[in-house]
Structure formats: C-alpha cells, structure tokens
Amino acid sequence: MDPADERILLAAGRLFREKGFAATTVREIAQAAGMLPGSLHYRYASKDDVLVALMERGVKRAIAAVTEAIAVTRDPIERLRLGLRAHLELLCRGDDSLYVLLYDFRSLPPAAKEGVEKSRGRYEAFWDGMLYEAWGTGRSRSVLDVELVRQFGMGAINWVATWYRPESGRTPAQVADAFWTYLAFGLMREDARPADLDSIFTALMTSPSPEED
Amino acid sequence: MDPADERILLAAGRLFREKGFAATTVREIAQAAGMLPGSLHYRYASKDDVLVALMERGVKRAIAAVTEAIAVTRDPIERLRLGLRAHLELLCRGDDSLYVLLYDFRSLPPAAKEGVEKSRGRYEAFWDGMLYEAWGTGRSRSVLDVELVRQFGMGAINWVATWYRPESGRTPAQVADAFWTYLAFGLMREDARPADLDSIFTALMTSPSPEED
DNA sequence: AGCGTTCTTGGTCGATTGACCAACGCCCAT
DNA sequence: ATGGGCGTTGGTCAATCGACCAAGAACGCT
C-alpha cells in the first residue's frame, strides 16, 4: 500500500478513535497526515471512503493477528487464549482500525454498510469456528449456542477498549488471560479444564503487577 | 421534569443512538420533539447541554431501575441476576439515555467530562458494592479484583446493545440470565452455586424460544 | 378583564464543513 | 535535457452548522 495512503489511515484512525467520525474534519486528517486537504482528496474521493478503507483494514489486521497468534498450537482451548490475546492487543496497542470498526459502525453511510458488515461477519465466523472446534473436543459444557458465547466473550473483550489504561500496571495480555480463565471456568466441563487453569487464575488474581510480554 | 424538556431528551436520545451526537443536528432534535430550533434553545442553551442532561438522566434511571429490581430479595447472588436483567432491559428496551451514556462518551466536551464521569463512577461503585456483597458470602472463588470482574460482566452486557435484535426470539431478560449463568459458573465455588443453576443453564441453552417476560 | 411571566416563533448570523479544481512542481524514462 | 504524468498545492464553493434574538403568543394569577 502506498505510504501516503497509509499515513492517511493512521491519522484518521487516531482522530476517529478520539473524537468519532462525524466530529473529525477532513482538514484535521490531512494536517495530521502531513498534507493539504486537496492531497487527501486525491487519495480518497470522500471522507466516507476513508472510513470504509479503515474498517476493511481493521478486519484484515484482526484476522491476520489472530491467525498468526494461534498458529503455534493445535489445542483449541489454548488457541482461544492466544486469539483473545491477539485481538485485545490489536485493540489496545495496535493501530486504531479495529477500534473504529467496532465503535464507529453507526457512522457508516447505508450504502457501504453491507460490505463492511460482510467483512465483519467473516471475522465473527472465524471466531465461531474456533469456538466450534473447542466445543468439538468434548471438554466443554453442552453449550448449544456458539453465537451467544461468542457475543459474551467478544463483548467483554471489546469493552476493554473503553476503560483500559496502559499505566494501570496490567498488560492487555494479562487482561485477556484473566478473562479467558473466567470463560474457561464458566464454560468448560469441570473434569476437562486445562491442568494449569487454577494456577494461572490464582497468579493473575493475586499479582496485578506486570510480569510478561 | 417539564414535559417539553422530556420530549427533547427523548428525541435527542433516539437520534444520538442512531447516528451519534456529532452527526445529529439541533434542527433534527427540535423537529423530532415537535418544536422549532429556537424553542429548543430556550430549554437548553447548547447542544452539549442536551447531551449532558441526557447522560445524567441515564445514570439516574439505571441506578433507579437496578435498585428497584434487586429490592425483592436479599440473596446477593440472586440480586446480581436481577440487576443484570434490569440493566440490560433498560439498555435494550428503555429510553436511549443509558445507551448514549455508554456509547457517546467521546462526544462530551472536556469541561463536562468530569461531572458525568463522576456520576458514572457512582453507578460503577454501586455495582462494585453488589459484587462485594456476593463475594462476602464466601460462595465465590477467591477473586480479589472486584473491578476486573465488574468490567468483564458489564462489558459483556453493555456490548449486547450492539447486536441485540428484538425479533431474534430471545428477550433481554433471557440474554441477561444466560450471561449470569456463564458468570456464576465461572466465578463461584463449585460447591456453593445456586441449586438451580444447572437447570436454568440447560433451559436457556436448549430453548431459545421466548418463555418469560 | 388586565397584567406580568413563561414559552414559542421564524428567521438571521458568522463560522465551518465536505467536495472540488486549475495550476504547478517534481521525478523518472527516454 | 526534456517531455509527460503522478502527486501536491492552496484556495474556492455552496451548503449546513450551532448559536442567537426580537417579537409576539399563550398562560397563570389576581
């Protein structure tokens, strides 16, 4: 991708996240990207186009980040842990495309909604697949509604973006692990949980100081 | 409260929820409230004032709804279930003030942020109190970080507003109950869970058809 | 009925917005 | 060295924004 296009999306992401799409002006984006409004117009015909491009980038990067993170193991339960980590790290520390995708959906012009919704659906189906594989191990409760579980977990994780502060002393990875233990305790059969679940849980709950990553 | 002020907040809430604060014009709010822009200006000196009033109303109504819902029992675990229900019903079916409070925080002018943040903090402290009482029963795991648990649960619940559709066949109360079982399984000692937890869980998971409320 | 207050009307104001463009500079291929 | 085209410049444009107000209508009180 053209480095100038990249600068635009980076600047737009930061501004959209801070103030929202509608409250951000094209002039601000251009200035933050180090160019004049006319130059931005040359790259993206409209402000809406910037938003759509940014959201599509968000889906792309999220899928890429999670895919890469889970590749190191075949255990579906462990994959969920690593996937949650990757998602939350992208949301808290990566560029702002995933945040904008999640929190500025309202601002999409109706015409573009369908396309972005479809991309977003691909990401959700990706998670449903991971959850289905975990369920397929037989180690979980007889949960029938994978979608409801996904909405539960992704809701908790996505909401972190509204309150997480890096200076809290906890890393996104630690928050993700803590949430994963909540989910594992809540949704897995008691006799089939990861052997080290209790110790992970206790360690995370008793020492909020940063230790890893 | 004056019925005209009420109409303004109601109309503003609906529009802010649909399109966001910045994308909504004062003229639209006035028209939706059945008055001319000048009349709105007489009630609220600025658009920001409408937003702040709406958010304060959101906190007020949320605290009122949850307080009333939990008054029927003294069991802290059951209170959590009823509180989650009340919160989610207000978010999905009530006026839009709670939604705007949660999802348009970015739009607050910096000067007003502190005041609303304080009100919101009161609501969060209210939940922390309920969680602390539940922990105090000794029936929960040795969870030390009440705030993290609250963020986990409230995140999952608040996110429902982004995907819930009434025509799905599930009521907000059923979603809240389902999430409450996830939380109860995940965060309570195995030997001290509600006696009917398993049956509630199974019933909710196997019959997505509406039955109650 | 008469008066003072509360509230609404319908429009104006300057400022800012997104979209747009003619002209220009720069750099690479020839 | 130079011609051609990619990318940028700096500004214009109509439209729309939030804020505001002078005038009068509607109301409650005596």
Q: Two tokens at A90?
A: 């992208």
User: Which residues are A188's β-sheet partners?
Assistant: A140
Q: Does A18 touch chain B if contact means CB atoms closer than 8 Å?
A: yes
Comparing B162 with A143, the larger pLDDT belongs to B162
**Per-residue pLDDT for A3 more than 80?**
no
Q: Estimate in Å the CA B49 to C1' D17 gap, whole number.
A: 17
pLDDT of res. A209: 43
pLDDT of res. B197: 53
Strand segments (E) across A57-154: none
**Per-residue pLDDT for A105 more than 80?**
yes
Expressed in angstroms, the distance from the first to the final Cα of chain A is 30
Instruction: Tell me which residue in A19, A143, A151 faces B205 most closely, judged by beta carbons.
Output: A143
Which pLDDT tens digit goes with each residue over A5-61? 889 999 999 999 999 999 999 999 999 988 888 888 999 999 999 999 999 999 999
In the complex, which nucleotide's C1' lies nearest to the CA atom of residue A44?
Answer: C19
CB pair distance less than 8 Å for B154 and A157: no
Q: Two tokens at B15?
A: 């529009």
Q: Which residues contact B190 (CB under 8 A, 6 or more apart)?
A: A190
Band (pLDDT 50/70/90 cuts) for residue A69 is very high
CB atoms within 10 A of CB B55: 27
Instruction: Tell me which residue in B18, B152, B159 faces A182 most closely, judged by beta carbons.
Output: B152
- How far is CA B130 from its chain centroid? 15
Which pLDDT tens digit goes with each residue over A164-208? 999 988 999 999 988 988 887 654 555 545 555 565 555 545 544
CB pair distance less than 8 Å for A159 and B160: no
pTM above 0.75, yes or no: yes
User: What parts of chain B have a pLDDT lower than 70?
Assistant: 1, 140-144, 185-213
In the complex, which nucleotide's C1' lies nearest to the CA atom of residue B29?
Answer: D18
Based on its alpha-carbon atoms, the radius of gyration of chain A, rounded to whole angstroms, reads: 19
B20 touches strand D (CB under 7 A): no
pLDDT of res. A74: 93
CB atoms within 10 A of CB B183: 24
